[in-house]
Amino acid sequence: MKVTSTRMADGRELLYFDERDDAARVLVDRRDLARPEIQSEMRHDPVLDEWVAIAGHRQTRIFQPTGTAAECPLCPTRDDDHLTEIPSSDYDVVVFENRFPSFALDALEPDTDDAAGGLVPRRPAKGRCEVVCFTSDHDSSFRALPSSRVRTVLEAWVQRTTELSGLPEVEQVFAFENRGQEIGVTLSHPHGQIYGYPYVTPKTRRMLESARAHQARTGRNLFADVLAAEVADGRRVVARSAHWTAFVPAAARWPLELHVYPNERVLDLPGLSEEQRADFGPFYLDLLRRVDGLYDTPTPYIAGWHQAPVRTDRDLAYLHLQLLSIRRAPGKLKYLAGSESMMWAFVNDVSPEQAAERMRTVTPVDGPA
**In a 10 Å sphere around its CB, with 0-12 CB exposed, 13-18 middle and 19+ buried, how is residue 78 labelled?**
middle
Query: What residues have CB less than 8 Å from 250, skipping those under 6 apart?
Result: 230, 233, 236, 352
Q: How far apart are CA 272 and CA 321, in angstroms?
A: 13
Catalytic residue among 191, 214, 243, 320: 191
Binding residues for Zn(2+): 72, 75, 138, 189
Determine the straight-line distance between the first and last CA of the chain, rounded to whole angstroms.
27
Alpha-carbon distance of 7 to 117, in angstroms, equals 42
Distance, C-alpha 348 to centroid of its chain: 23
Amino acid letter at 266? V
Q: Are 44 and 121 in contact (CB under 8 A)?
A: yes
* Pick from 78, 84, 201, 167: nearest CA to 133: 84
Residue numbers belonging to the annotated binding site:
72, 75, 138, 189
CA 295, CA 148: separation in Å to the nearest integer? 27
Name the DSSP class of 74: T
Neighbour count for residue 123 (Cβ, 10 Å): 17
* Exposed e or buried b per residue across 283-307, where buried means at least 16 C-beta atoms within 10 angstroms of its C-beta: bbbbbbbbbbbbbeebbbbbbbbbb
Instruction: Give the Cβ contact number of residue 338 at 10 Å.
Output: 8
Beta bridge partners of 302: 178, 324
- In this structure, what DSSP letter does residue 366 have? -
- CA proximity to 131, closest of 157, 95, 163, 77: 95
Active site annotation includes 191: yes
What are the catalytic residues? 191
